[in-house]
A and B are shown apart, each in its own frame.
Chain A
Amino acid sequence: MILTLLILVPLIAGIFSFIAKDGAKGLALISSLVTLGLAAYISMAANTASLSWTMQWIPRLGAQLSFQADGMSAMLCLLTAIIMPVIFISNWNKEVEKPGAFYGLMLLSQAGITGVFLAYDALLFYFFWELALIPVYFLCSRWGGEKRIPVTFKFFVYTFVGSLMMLSALIYLSLQNTGVSAYSWQNIVRAGASLPAVQQQFLFWLIFIAFAVKMPIFPFHTWQPDTYEQSPTPVTIILSALMVKMGMFGVIRWLMPVLPAGVAFWSNTIIILSVIGIIYASLIAIVQTDLKRLVAYSSIAHMGLMSAAAFAQTNVGLHGLMVQMFNHGINITGMWLIVSMVEQRWGTRDMGKLGGMAITAPKMAIALVIISLANVALPLTNGFIGEFMLFNGLFESASPYHITFMVVAGLGIILGAVYTLNMVQKTAYGNATAMTTGGDITANEYVGLAIVIGLILVLGIYPKPLLDMTAGFANMMIP
């Protein structure tokens, strides 16, 4: 029941905040803090036993309202629950048009995302998958930049095509089952795993495309930089910190166990795509001048590594992936917070026009440097643990090309340093030319950044809680 609360709280708060208008901000914050508490409880409880809750829904189809939280779900729910208050806090003094709708949609998307992470029924999963998308679409299109309409529409159609493909595969799989729980995870897994290899290989793509678009994996990524660029920053955070995790989550929950033969057959291909994506995105990030685009491409590169490690199918890689999903969410949130502060204060994201943040806003510059270092996976920041384990997993994969994969993927950390340091250099260093006005971070931004940086350092130095939380899941998936 507590699992449903995790979804219901933001859902109901979201609906109410449409009416609440000016009070929406507070409502959103309260709701997000409540969910944080719930998520914290669940992640502690999920350590020992997985929680679940099931109810009849559509007996005709065999779909149930079924939620279950294991290590991965709990971890991702916790991430969601942490990110949302951070967003709300750091945007506290920012005026948005129509706050009621804005915060309402934010909360609805939170409900959707949480639902995705908890759903243990294929149809329910699909429902939440879309429920998470629609509010984000509205948020981007309503509050985004000047080219927001075509861009977010592209994003929407892109992901919509993906999810429809997934839907067809889910239908196919569910038909292998009968009875009241035809869509339950266990039954879908059983159905998928018992299919002949050829069918699995075919279905693999149908499902994978949905996740690949969401993550995004090269070459399904082109919606992403545009969308990140045009979205308002709180939404960009949701997109990049949480929604990309939905893709990764999907791969692990709804693809790998479901179509083992398909995954085995295509894993090398996907790893190659992912690795290409790492290099490709990193190279492109190097020549970006827009801060948001740069971070967007950097995110593609990071997701490439995660997906490569996921398909390497090793225990340590998977465990690292769990850690890295969390950490990437935290880091990129920090990154966007900074980007939004820059944009808000100096009115531009063009790195050519920025410079000297370290003089005018030293606190922000320090935060930027720390977050950037986490972004390049410097040891003792949280980024390192995950990346090390991911590389380890990739290296240990059974593929004959495992060393090549790892080394080429590793080039990404060099290129990552190139573009990240470029960014730091161009924004934080140099003389304050354009960035003369605007003060340092305000109190609420300070809190937001402090949470992010605190997590970066704490989890970088002492990652054990996170590792413990997800160890059981990783061992269950790949002993």
Chain B
Amino acid sequence: MTNLVYLVPLFPLIGFLINGIGWRKMPKSAGGAIGSIAILASFIVSLGIFFEVKSTGATTIVHLFDFIQSGKLYIPFSFQVDALSSLFLLIITGIGFLIHVYSTSYMHDDEGMVKYFAFLNLFVFSMLLLVLGANYLIMFIGWEGVGLCSYLLIGFWFKNRDYTNAAKKAFIMNRIGDLGFLVGMLMILFHFGTLTYADFFNNLHNSDVAISNNMYNWIAICLFIGAMGKSAQIPLYTWLPDAMAGPTPVSALIHAATMVTAGIYMIARSSALYNLAPLAQNLVGIIGLATAILAASIAIKQYDIKKVLAYSTVSQLGFMFLALGMGAYTTAVFHVMTHAFFKALLFLGSGSVIHAMGGEQDIRKMGGLNKHMRITGITFLIGCLAIAGIPGFSGFFSKDEILAATYAHSPVMYYLALGAALMTAFYMFRLYFLTFTGSFRGTEEQHHHLHESPAAMTIPLIVLAFFAIVGGYVGLPPVISEHHSLNSFLRSVVSNFGEHELSHATEWMLMGLSSGLVIITIIIAYAVNKKPNFAPNTGLAKTLENKWYVDELYDAVIVNPLQKLSGLLDRFAERMGIDGLVNGVGKIVRWGSDRVRLLQSGQVGFYIFVMVIGMTLLFAISFFWIQ
């Protein structure tokens, strides 16, 4: 089965090509069907691969063709199938399929639906390349490919300038990260002469290649910069909230479940490197934690349903990086998986809400939707419970593992992370209460239109809700079960670093603490939002509503100065400076010509005079200077 791995990306590619070429002529339903079936096919193959890998535990490399070969530089186009990639395959194709199905209904009224499916398929294709690549360059191809699809899909409604701006911002911020990734790759190439994972990781321990510890750190940091961009970490996170401009299923798939977790995948993939680079690892943890807190704090005061989810995603990604920073790679992957379920669920749920509200996204205008959309309401609640970390739901297990790992590493960070987790619970339930409970605050017309979404949308919700509940049982904490099935599955590929075995008592204590606090927080959230008050925010709240003014800060510090600098360069350095200089030479020649020609006075006496002067000078030079 693993030998057929090329089929996995091939199906979405075929789907993309069919939809892409026929996007103007094909019927919408056909486009949706082709797109979904392509992913389903991939999913089936992926399942087969997954189980094969699970049973054998082997790592297979499938060589397709030579991509770049130049001197010492050799980069094959090959796929690597192992535990990590097969798990991601499942997440991508599985959730991808659900979201495709969901989209067939969600996008049904859009004229560009076939194009939409083409892009979506292309995205899945790129994402699969990313996780399947057997070397960093193939990963990079997928890496940039998903960035492209994200760009295309954020700007899907291209007539709106704000949307296309958001798309552009996403692409450019990703590019900043990509530069880091690129530099990291070049460093690896420079020092190890290869980009292939297997060779690279083998050589890491090889004493022949003696490089300083510093260099490991640098390489790791460069790669992490790439992850920052893709996975929306400080300081490159601002694109992700803006990316909500795209259709909601896109947000669910790309900006929650899959693409943004690429950074986590990459670092988990490079765990061997990070294990050698403690400095970089600490940086990852700190950045992750800071992002988790910052994004959570912003989410508290957002009013756009998708924005809240977006910041929540950023925050959750922060948690994942925190885990990575603690050396708990499998935990991060675990959280990726659970997060994929519940965040996709939440986004699709919000999509269902938006669908029902006729495009309205402001939660101040919602409320009491539970009455009209039961399935959406319930599944959304499940999502909230999962993300908040209520015991029994998937999020609880993965988040708890992160917190435990953090506690083992540094209690201070644990408390900070716990704070972020509590904020998560708070804003998620604020969102839930404001949206689904209480009374409807929108217009009469919207009220009239409220309805439950069609089955194509609700079925994926239900499936995802199911997984949001049970997804966590693959990684039961050691206090409950000594057998951590995910950990053991991944062990062959990802090696956790410096795992501290916490005593069972401590673990119980931590679990109890976080669960208890979360429940209290939810109650507070209920209390606060029972009678919503949308008075204009002041003070800290206003700062939070305005996202700590980070966008403004970036505008003021980077974007505007850059624009100004460009303008100045164009006006002064280019036109007046260099071009002015060049034209100046021309002008000087003309001016000189105008002066010199006055020597030609037309009077023969003057001519002779010039001649005599010249003669005298020549004599003087000849007799007094040369000799």
Q: Is the CB–CB distance between A421 and B168 below 8 Å?
A: yes
A379 at the interface (CB under 8 A from B): yes
B137 at the interface (CB under 8 A from A): yes
Closest Cβ–Cβ distance, residue A359 to chain B (whole Å): 7
Which residue of chain B has its CB nearest to the CB of A284?
B570
What are the nearest 4 A-B pairs in CB distance?
A379-B141, A429-B158, A222-B579, A319-B70
Chain B residues, Cβ within 8 Å of A376:
175
Q: A219-B578, A429-B164, A430-B159 are in contact. Are A467 and B69 (CB under 8 A)?
A: yes
A197 to B159, CA, bound (A): 61
Chain B CB within 10 Å, residue with most, of A280, A288, A316, A429 = A429
Can you report 30 residue pairs joining A to B where beta carbons are below 8 Å apart? Answer: A222-B579, A223-B582, A280-B569, A280-B573, A284-B569, A286-B563, A315-B70, A316-B70, A320-B70, A376-B175, A378-B144, A385-B68, A388-B68, A392-B186, A395-B186, A395-B189, A406-B186, A407-B179, A410-B182, A413-B178, A417-B171, A418-B168, A418-B172, A421-B167, A430-B158, A430-B164, A431-B159, A474-B70, A474-B71, A475-B71
Chain B positions 119-163 with a Cβ under 8 Å from a chain A Cβ: 137, 140-141, 143-145, 148, 151, 155, 158-159, 161
| Contact digits for A408-432, partner B, Cβ 8 Å, 1 yes 0 no | 0011011001100110010011110
A378 to B137, CA, bound (A): 12
A475 to B71, CA, bound (A): 7
Q: Is the CB–CB distance between B566 and A380 below 8 Å?
A: no
Q: Is the CB–CB distance between A417 and B72 below 8 Å?
A: no
Q: Is the CB–CB distance between B68 and A467 below 8 Å?
A: yes
Chain B residues, Cβ within 8 Å of A430:
158-159, 161, 164
B586 at the interface (CB under 8 A from A): yes
Chain A residues, Cβ within 8 Å of B186:
391-392, 395, 406
Interface residues of B (CB under 8 A from A): 24, 65-73, 137, 140-141, 143-145, 148, 151, 155, 158-159, 161, 164-165, 167-168, 171-172, 175-176, 178-179, 182-183, 186-187, 189-190, 562-563, 565-567, 569-570, 573-574, 578-579, 582-583, 586
Chain A CB within 10 Å, residue with most, of B67, B70, B186, B187 = B70
Q: A154-B586, A373-B148, A431-B159 are in contact. Are A395 and B190 (CB under 8 A)?
A: yes
Chain B interface mostly: helix
Q: A422-B168, A467-B69 are in contact. Are A411 and B179 (CB under 8 A)?
A: yes
Which residue of chain B has its CB nearest to the CB of A422?
B168
Which residue of chain B has its CB nearest to the CB of A279?
B569
Q: Is the CB–CB distance between B144 and A379 below 8 Å?
A: yes
CB-contact partner of B190 in A154, A287, A388, A396, under 8 A: A396
Chain A residues, Cβ within 8 Å of B567:
287
CB-contact partner of A388 in B137, B143, B161, under 8 A: B137
Q: How many A-B residue pairs have CB under 8 A?
A: 138
Closest Cβ–Cβ distance, residue A306 to chain B (whole Å): 16
Q: Is the CB–CB distance between A283 and B569 below 8 Å?
A: yes
A320 to B67, CA, bound (A): 13
Q: Is the CB–CB distance between A406 and B183 below 8 Å?
A: yes
Closest Cβ–Cβ distance, residue B447 to chain A (whole Å): 32
Number of residues of chain A lying within 8 A (CB) of chain B: 57
Chain A positions 292-341 with a Cβ under 8 Å from a chain B Cβ: 315-316, 319-320
Q: Is the CB–CB distance between B66 and A464 below 8 Å?
A: yes
Closest Cβ–Cβ distance, residue B135 to chain A (whole Å): 12
Q: Is the CB–CB distance between B69 and A464 below 8 Å?
A: yes
Chain B residues, Cβ within 8 Å of A396:
189-190
Q: Is the CB–CB distance between A158 and B172 below 8 Å?
A: no
Which residue of chain A has its CB nearest to the CB of B69?
A467
A418 to B175, CA, bound (A): 9
Which residue of chain A has its CB nearest to the CB of B67?
A463
Q: A284-B566, A379-B140, A392-B186 are in contact. Are A429 and B159 (CB under 8 A)?
A: yes
A358 at the interface (CB under 8 A from B): yes
Q: Is the CB–CB distance between A413 and B155 below 8 Å?
A: no
A356 at the interface (CB under 8 A from B): yes
A358 to B158, CA, bound (A): 8
A182 at the interface (CB under 8 A from B): no
Q: Is the CB–CB distance between A284 and B574 below 8 Å?
A: yes
A373 to B569, CA, bound (A): 26
CB-contact partner of A392 in B73, B158, B574, B583, under 8 A: B73
A389 at the interface (CB under 8 A from B): yes
Chain A interface mostly: helix
CB-contact partner of B145 in A288, A380, A464, under 8 A: A380
Q: Is the CB–CB distance between B71 and A315 below 8 Å?
A: yes
A429 to B67, CA, bound (A): 34
| Contact digits for A264-287, partner B, Cβ 8 Å, 1 yes 0 no | 000000000000000010011011
A378 to B189, CA, bound (A): 20
Q: Is the CB–CB distance between A462 and B65 below 8 Å?
A: yes
Chain A residues, Cβ within 8 Å of B159:
356, 359, 429-431
A232 at the interface (CB under 8 A from B): no
A75 at the interface (CB under 8 A from B): no
A414 to B182, CA, bound (A): 12
Closest Cβ–Cβ distance, residue B575 to chain A (whole Å): 9
Q: A154-B586, A222-B578 are in contact. Are A287 and B179 (CB under 8 A)?
A: no
Q: Is the CB–CB distance between A288 and B570 below 8 Å?
A: yes
A458 to B168, CA, bound (A): 26
A475 to B565, CA, bound (A): 42
Chain A CB within 10 Å, residue with most, of B158, B565, B582 = B158
A362 at the interface (CB under 8 A from B): yes
Q: A287-B563, A430-B159 are in contact. List 10 more A-B contacts (CB 8 A).
A: A319-B70, A379-B144, A385-B68, A388-B137, A391-B186, A395-B187, A407-B179, A414-B175, A421-B167, A425-B161
Q: Is the CB–CB distance between A378 and B71 below 8 Å?
A: no
Closest Cβ–Cβ distance, residue A454 to chain B (whole Å): 14
Q: Is the CB–CB distance between A414 and B144 below 8 Å?
A: no
Q: Is the CB–CB distance between B73 and A389 below 8 Å?
A: yes
Q: Is the CB–CB distance between B65 and A464 below 8 Å?
A: yes
Closest Cβ–Cβ distance, residue B91 to chain A (whole Å): 22
A384 to B179, CA, bound (A): 13
Chain A residues, Cβ within 8 Å of B144:
378-379, 384
Q: Is the CB–CB distance between B573 and A425 below 8 Å?
A: no
| Contact digits for A441-479, partner B, Cβ 8 Å, 1 yes 0 no | 000000000000000000000111001000100110000
Closest Cβ–Cβ distance, residue A221 to chain B (whole Å): 8
Q: Is the CB–CB distance between B172 and A414 below 8 Å?
A: yes
Chain A positions 64-116 with a Cβ under 8 Å from a chain B Cβ: none
A406 to B179, CA, bound (A): 10
Q: Is the CB–CB distance between A414 and B179 below 8 Å?
A: yes
Q: Is the CB–CB distance between A154 and B582 below 8 Å?
A: yes
Chain B residues, Cβ within 8 Å of A474:
70-71
Chain B residues, Cβ within 8 Å of A154:
582-583, 586
CB-contact partner of A425 in B164, B578, B583, under 8 A: B164
Closest Cβ–Cβ distance, residue B548 to chain A (whole Å): 24
A284 to B576, CA, bound (A): 13
A425 to B159, CA, bound (A): 10
| Contact digits for A335-376, partner B, Cβ 8 Å, 1 yes 0 no | 000000000000000000000101100100000000001001
Chain B CB within 10 Å, residue with most, of A223, A358, A388, A403 = A388
A71 to B155, CA, bound (A): 42
Q: Is the CB–CB distance between B578 and A362 below 8 Å?
A: no
A395 to B511, CA, bound (A): 49
Q: A414-B172, A430-B158 are in contact. Are A471 and B70 (CB under 8 A)?
A: yes
A329 to B355, CA, bound (A): 47
Q: Is the CB–CB distance between A421 and B171 below 8 Å?
A: yes
A373 to B144, CA, bound (A): 11
Chain B residues, Cβ within 8 Å of A406:
183, 186
Q: Is the CB–CB distance between A287 and B566 below 8 Å?
A: yes
Chain B residues, Cβ within 8 Å of A462:
65
CB-contact partner of A222 in B66, B72, B73, B574, under 8 A: B574
Chain A residues, Cβ within 8 Å of B171:
417, 421
A373 to B186, CA, bound (A): 22
Chain B residues, Cβ within 8 Å of A385:
68
A287 to B183, CA, bound (A): 28
Chain A residues, Cβ within 8 Å of B137:
388
A365 to B72, CA, bound (A): 39
Closest Cβ–Cβ distance, residue A393 to chain B (whole Å): 9
